[in-house]
Amino acid sequence: MKISFDLDDTIISTKFSLEKESLWSKIIRVERIRSGTITLFKKLRAQKHEIYIYTTSYRSKLKIKLMFLCYGIPVDFVVNQHLHEKRVRKRGKNVSKFPPEFDIDIHIDDSLGVEMEGKKFGFKTIIVSIDDENWTNTILKKIEKAF
């Protein structure tokens, strides 16, 4: 299955604890990621899921890909705001994220607004709170239920 992750306040924030920086992440000075991300992505990968990033930010695809690569957890595909505008907005869909456009089966986000959009436009979401210290288990459990 294709699983996408939001970035801001889901994977990147100063409001939760972070993964230790790797040598590469220090050298290339990429952004730091939420504690638990590495294990979570590896587990999802072992379960044969594909990992996508879907962000409403304008960070470049290369920058995002490089960031995860620095932590040893490459991602399969990146949807940033540029691509979203090109593919989704062009079709006249007024929605902040539309995962089905990219064949994504389930999208993980911190935003209740995205959850509402999912209900309205018919896509699956898992919402994790920024202060959920057990966030990786929350996700793994819900993914298990979803498929």
User: Count of residues binding Mg ion (CB under 5 A)?
Assistant: 4
Range in contact with Mg ion (rule: CB under 5 A) among 9-17, 28-36, 69-77, 116-124: 9-17
Question: Min. distance of Cβ 48 from Mg ion in angstroms?
Answer: 26
Is residue 8 a contact residue for Mg ion (CB under 5 A)?
A: yes
**Contact at 8 Å (CB) between 75 and 52?**
yes
Closer by beta carbon to Mg ion, 26 or else 119: 119
What DSSP assignment string belongs to 101-113? GGT-SEEEES-HH
Range in contact with Mg ion (rule: CB under 5 A) among 2-10, 17-25, 71-79, 136-144: 2-10
**Contact at 8 Å (CB) between 61 and 76?**
no
What DSSP assignment string belongs to 51-105? EEEE-SS---HHHHHHHHHHTT---SEEE-HHHHHHHTGGGT---S--GGGGT-S
Window 86-115: contact mask with Mg ion (x via CB under 5 A)? ------------------------x-----
Q: Which residues bind Mg ion (CB under 5 A)?
A: 6, 8-9, 110
